[in-house]
Amino acid sequence: MHFLDTKDLSREQIDQLLESALRFKHGRDRSTPLAGKSVALVFFNPSLRTRASMQVGIYELGGNAVVLEPGGTSWTLEYREGAVMNADKTEHVAEFVRVLERYCVAIGVRTFATLKNWQEERIDPVLNAFAKYASVPIINLESAMHHPCQSLADMLTIREKLGAARKRVVLTWAWHPKPLPMAVPNSFALAAAQMGHDLVIAHPPGYDLDEELIGSLGATVTNDIDAAFTGADVIYAKSWGSKQFYGDTDQEIASRAQYRGKWIVDEEKMSRTNDAIFMHCLPVRRNVIVTDDVIDSPASVVIDEAENRLHVQKAMLAGLLGG
């Protein structure tokens, strides 16, 4: 079974995973289900939290992490079917995956959206190429469309700080000097809805997330950032690019310039919440996405949120590979 997103997990399954994460976090579970096993971690993109937390988690579960960086510590990879490999790609995923699974019990993959072709990237072609050829579990460490490990850490953080009851959870777009992928906001919105929260998504006109995904969640979507913050229990800030500018970065940057200064999390907006906690997946650009006054305040839980990546990933790995 692959772990590509949380779409097919029931509320009960997510609850069980979060409870398992808490047992690992508080030392009530010290099992080592990965003893004598290796897990491959394939990074097409830079990483701090994902890479460190996965390596540490695999080690603490008794296993060994094999870290590979295509084009750096391993060969450049082609994923397209029928590709004529006469350019800059050295090895095809078909061979890469089938060799690697002879050594490892699972393969984690991290690959970002290139923001060039929305219709192609929304179906996660690189991640799904790995899944197609693999007979061992493929673990999504962030793809063009989803970041399930991050969203599970987010749900654990909300539960720890505010309890398991339904909360008013606001996912707010924030200005950033360049367009970013949608994986984190997609997965956060999905998981928040799965956990039964009252989900509000705030963004400027033209910055809708994937309609098929968001349309199934029952979320309130608004272009009014001030109204969104009122009465919120959780503020989750993240920037993402607009689908209408995919492939045209210069036009995207020019269009979003009008939102600088307005679409930022600051003390004034936070004062209208219900003493909300502030969340962000990190890395975050200070005084661009969020002001120093907010991220350095007691309301900020970003470090706890980052720590929880370790615990939910241990729970996920134990559940996926511990049998």
CA dihedral over 60, 15, 181, 185, signed as positive or negative: negative
Mean pLDDT for the chain overall: 96
- Percent of the chain, pLDDT > 70? 100
Mean pLDDT calculated for residue range 206-234: 96
- Are 76 and 90 contacting, i.e. CB atoms less than 8 angstroms apart? yes
The DSSP 8-state label assigned to residue 300 in this structure reads B
Question: With DSSP H G I counted as helix, E B as strand and the rest as coil, what are the percentages for the chain, rounded to 5?
Answer: 40, 15, 45
Beta bridge partners of 279: 236
Quick: pLDDT tens for 150-205: 999 999 999 999 999 999 999 999 999 999 999 999 999 999 999 999 999 999 99
Of the pLDDT bands very low, low, confident and very high (cuts 50, 70, 90), residue 323 is low
pLDDT of residue 49: 97
pLDDT of residue 234: 98
- Are 321 and 37 contacting, i.e. CB atoms less than 8 angstroms apart? yes
Overall pTM > 0.85: yes
Residue burial 107-134, b: 16+ Cβ < 10 Å; e: rest: bbbbbbbebeebeebbebbbbebbbebb
At 14, list the tokens. Answer: 């997510």
Q: Which residue has the tokens 């990546």?
A: 309
User: How far is residue 241's CA from residue 256's CA, in Å, rounded to a whole number?
Assistant: 9
Amino acid identity of residue 303, one-letter, is: I
Quick: pLDDT tens for 24-69: 999 999 999 999 999 999 999 999 999 999 999 999 999 999 999 9
The DSSP 8-state label assigned to residue 82 in this structure reads T
User: How far is residue 103's CA from residue 92's CA, in Å, rounded to a whole number?
Assistant: 18
User: How far is residue 50's CA from residue 45's CA, in Å, rounded to a whole number?
Assistant: 11
Reduced to 3 states (helix: H, G, I; strand: E, B; else coil), residue 77 is: strand
Instruction: Tell how far CA 107 is from the center of its chain.
Output: 17
DSSP line for 189-222: HHHHHHTT-EEEEE--TT----HHHHHTTT-EEE
Quick: pLDDT tens for 124-152: 999 999 999 999 999 999 999 999 999 99
* Model confidence at 247: pLDDT above 90: no
